[in-house]
Amino acid sequence: MSEQTEKSLEKYVQEFETCRRELREIGFILTGSITKHYTKCRSPSCRCMKDPEYRHGPYYDWTRKVKGKTVTVRLSQEEADILKEWIENKKEFYEIIKRMEMITLEAVKEIRV
């Protein structure tokens, strides 16, 4: 590899290293989604039957696939907040990986000229 090619690759190496540092900052990663919902009970005399303002909740559910089957788990609000962050971490993880691949593809163009 020529000296000029090595110099031009250096900027890609630096960008790649920035991505590596960003990856080290990511915490737990998790698959799935968190939903917040309210429900009506089955008691005919409850206000929730007539007025949506009095529905029960909020309830938080974490839904994901396990061995091809949908699994839903009820969470507290505190748990839901934590898991939302971990789900966002996974999205960020994949965005960084995608950037790393793009940087690598640019480096490939440099060495193929």
pLDDT in tens, 30-50: 999 999 999 999 898 999 988
pTM for the whole thing? 0.82
Q: Tell me the per-residue pLDDT of 64-113, one tens digit each, with 9 for 90 and over.
A: 999 999 999 999 999 999 999 999 999 999 999 999 999 999 999 988 87
CA distance 110 to 8: 7
CA distance 57 to 39: 7
Give me the phi and psi of 57, to 5 degrees please. 135, -165
Q: Hey, where are the domains in the chain?
A: 3-111
Nearest CA among 40, 34, 42 for reference residue 53:
40
Which residues are bridge partners to 63 per DSSP?
Answer: 33, 72
